[in-house]
Amino acid sequence: MLITFSGLDGAGKSTLVRWLQQTLEGQNRRVVVFHMNDHVGVYAYLRLLRNQLGGAPPRNGAGALHRVRNALLWGKLLRRMIYPLDLLLFLAYRLYHEFIRRRVVIMDRYFYDTLVDVADGRHWGVLRLLQRLTPTPDVAVLLDVGPEESFARKRDYPVDYLRDRWLAYRTVFPWVRGALVVKNDDLHAAQQTVARLVGERLVA
């Protein structure tokens, strides 16, 4: 089974991932958790390379070297180009963990978040094609927290940037068959909603 959590920073993805992992392990199910940006595909390795070459760029601006490096590593075009390769690598992850080791795979962020990352408001047809190539999770959860609330919870990015991402999520997720959209303003209610759907899919 593949379960994915998507949404803005501060939406509560990591909290729900940890809770679900503990819940499933308490039911004697084998679980593995991956963070999309740290563990899966070429992009994750590029992030690791970036950090080894000088660390993440400062939040309050970047020097010329950081800007050049970021243009190469974070460019939307490059990320769209490596997207299919990352899909192939992820299929190998799934084959090993889900089908050979018989584990439930939980993703903190997924390829849908990558589509939001590379959205520029113009090339939706390209993103739609990439989404169609993407394996649909057994449970795909979008934690729908608005940009202002996201900023209040975790002040890593400005509200305007978060608003653009929020609008992109609202474009991408209607494409996802069977996606679960959860307003994560009540953690207990969100946990119950996720637990109910996961339970249904596990016995299906």
Residue 20 and residue 106 in contact, taking contact as beta carbons nearer than 8 Å: yes
The percentage of the chain sitting over the pLDDT mark of 90, rounded to a whole number, equals 69
pLDDT at 58 over 60: no
| Nearest in space to 40 (alpha carbons), one of 92, 116, 95 | 92
Q: Residue 39 — pLDDT band, cuts 50, 70, 90?
A: confident
Give the domain extent around 191. Answer: 2-203
Q: What percent of the chain has pLDDT over 70?
A: 88
Please report the pLDDT score of residue 63 as a whole number.
57
Range with the poorest average pLDDT among 12-16, 45-49, 86-90 = 45-49
Whole-number Å distance between alpha carbons of 111 and 131: 8
Q: Is the dihedral of CA 108, 176, 154, 122 positive or negative?
A: positive
| pTM (2 d.p.) | 0.86
Where does the pLDDT of residue 182 fall: very low under 50, low under 70, confident under 90, or very high at 90 and above?
very high
**Residue 37 pLDDT grade (very low, low, confident, very high; cuts 50, 70, 90):** confident
Is the distance from CB of 14 to CB of 22 less than 8 angstroms? no
Cα distances (Å, whole numbers) of residue 193 to 28, 137, 151, 189? 21, 17, 25, 6
Looking at the structure of the chain, the number of domains it has is: 1
Q: Of 37-41, 126-130, 133-137, 174-178, which range is least confident?
A: 37-41
- Band of pLDDT at residue 15, cut at 50, 70 and 90: very high
- Strand blocks (E) in 25-172: 31-35, 104-108, 139-143
Q: Average pLDDT, stretch 41-65?
A: 64
Structure tokens at 97: 């963990």
User: Which residues does residue 7 pair with via DSSP β-bridges, in sequence order?
Assistant: 143
Q: Could you tell me the CATH number of the domain that includes residue 29?
A: 3.40.50.300
Indicate whether 51 pLDDT > 80. Answer: no
Band (123; pLDDT cuts 50, 70, 90): confident
CA–CA gap between residue 165 and residue 117 (Å, rounded): 8
Position with higher pLDDT, 96 vs 187: 96
In b/e form, how buried is each residue of 105-129, taking b as 16+ CB within 10 angstroms? Answer: bbbbbbbbbbbbbbbeeeebeebee
pLDDT greater than 70 at residue 93: yes
Tokens, residue 137: 């999770």
Judge contact between 111 and 91, C-beta under 8 A: no
